[in-house]
Amino acid sequence: MTDIHPKEPDAPARPDDTRLPRPVVYPVLENQPALVTGANSGLGKAVAVGLARAGADVIVNYVTDPAAAEEVAHEIEAMGRRAIALQADVSDETAVQRMFAQAIDHFGTLHVVVSNAGLQRDSPYDEMTLEQWNTVIGVNLTGQFLCTREAVREFKRRGVDRNLSVAAGKIICMSSVHQQIPWAGHANYAASKGGVMLLMKSLAQEMAPYRIRVNSIAPGAIRTPINTSAWSTEEAYADLMTLVPYKRIGEPDDIAQAAIWLASDAADYVTGATLFVDGGMTLYPGFATGG
Ligand code: NAI
Ligand code: BGC
């Protein structure tokens, strides 16, 4: 009888697994300035560098650690693209508007906005403070509103420039598998990502006639500073793998590849979609052997 639950094909993927995809990236975003929030760390950094690999000039947003942001900007410049690091707290309306004005002043316009900045303030529900709640909603949800609103203002103003793209602009919201998977001890975070889901869809519906595409990426567990405790020890990594059918942690470049595709005209008929990049985390792994 065929075993429908085979053992892993060869050695189990470990935290230091290096057998990762090395895809070729074509310069499909040439001359399309892209703004990435929270781009001095983790997924934002990988997306910023990935979009530059695909030809974009990049605005590297940060709120703290300007040195890390400058380093990302230099890495992008070394690839022959233009880059600028701009400070702004995405939950602060004035700061966001200033950043978009500076970005447009510097590059002339914007074609891609990746609303990525986010954080966790975890707590058991009955101990969660209003500050923990407001901080997470403020950055993860209100921050997405403020950045995407400035993005659509610029995309509508400019319209389609057929020399560069068949869309007037592309927005990518960084959501999470927790827009769908409830998460005890992280109610503020799950609520913020659930909010991102319907913010993104409502915005996509409203902006489609303007040829502005709005989509989300919903990462599973990706190796970044936000979740170090989930992968930095062998025991934690083994625990994490019980939630990941594909049996490896995600790497930031897995998310960058998805962002490049969503930002490119290859995804022109895709709007209002959430692309789960999660190694199967949303496939109810507990049911692989039960139910
Ligand atoms: P990270 O902690 O490495 O990066 C978060 C970035 O957001 C940092 O650059 C941080 O400075 C920035 N940020 C935080 N508050 C900000 C503010 N008020 N204004 C501007 N920037 C601010 O973590 P990671 O993993 O790269 O997270 C990026 C996004 O990906 C977040 O939205 C997170 O919720 C999401 N995500 C991450 C997953 C993972 O497994 N790493 C999985 C699913 C979603
Ligand atoms: C969280 C990470 C977590 C991942 C999978 C993300 O949204 O930020 O901490 O590892 O979801 O649960």
Task: Spot the catalytic one: 62, 125, 189, 269.
Answer: 189
User: Residue 186: inside a domain, yes or no?
Assistant: yes
Phi-psi region of 152 (alpha: psi -120 to 50; beta: other; left: phi over 0): alpha
Output the CA 251–ligand 2 centroid distance in Å: 13
What is the pTM for the complete model shown?
A: 0.95
Query: Catalytic: 189?
Result: yes
Evaluate: CB of 277 within 6 angstroms of ligand 2: no
User: Residue 14: inside a domain, yes or no?
Assistant: no
Output the CA 155–ligand 2 centroid distance in Å: 31
Output the CA 215–ligand 2 centroid distance in Å: 19
Helix residue spans in the chain (DSSP H): 42-53, 66-78, 93-107, 130-137, 143-158, 187-207, 234-241, 252-263
3-state secondary structure of 139: helix
Q: Using CB atoms within 10 A of its CB, is residue 245 exposed (0-12), middle (13-18) or buried (19+)? A: middle
The CATH number of the domain holding residue 253 is 3.40.50.720
Evaluate: CB of 220 within 6 angstroms of ligand 2: yes
Residues 6+ apart with CB under 8 A from 126: none
User: Residue 10: inside a domain, yes or no?
Assistant: no
**Is the Cβ–Cβ distance between 259 and 37 less than 8 Å?**
no
Quick one: pLDDT at residue 17?
63
Domain that holds residue 188: 34-278
Quick one: pLDDT at residue 22?
75
Number of domains observed in the structure of the chain: 1
User: Residue 263: inside a domain, yes or no?
Assistant: yes
User: Residue 4: inside a domain, yes or no?
Assistant: no
Tabulate helix, strand, coil % of the chain (nearest 5). 45, 15, 40
CA-CA-CA-CA torsion for 107, 211, 26, 77, nearest 10 degrees? 10
User: Residue 256: inside a domain, yes or no?
Assistant: yes
User: Residue 115: inside a domain, yes or no?
Assistant: yes
Output the CA 255–ligand 2 centroid distance in Å: 13
* pLDDT tens for the chain, residues 1 to 291: 445 554 544 445 565 665 677 788 899 999 999 999 999 999 999 999 999 999 999 999 999 999 999 999 999 999 999 999 999 999 999 999 999 999 999 999 999 999 999 999 999 999 999 999 999 999 999 999 999 999 999 999 999 999 999 999 999 999 999 999 999 999 999 999 999 999 999 999 999 999 999 999 999 999 999 999 999 999 999 999 999 999 999 999 999 999 999 999 999 999 999 999 999 999 999 999 888
Closest listed ligand to the CA of 85: 1
Ligand 1 surroundings by CB, under 6 angstroms: 37-38, 40-44, 63-64, 89-91, 116-119, 139, 174, 176, 219, 221-222, 224-227
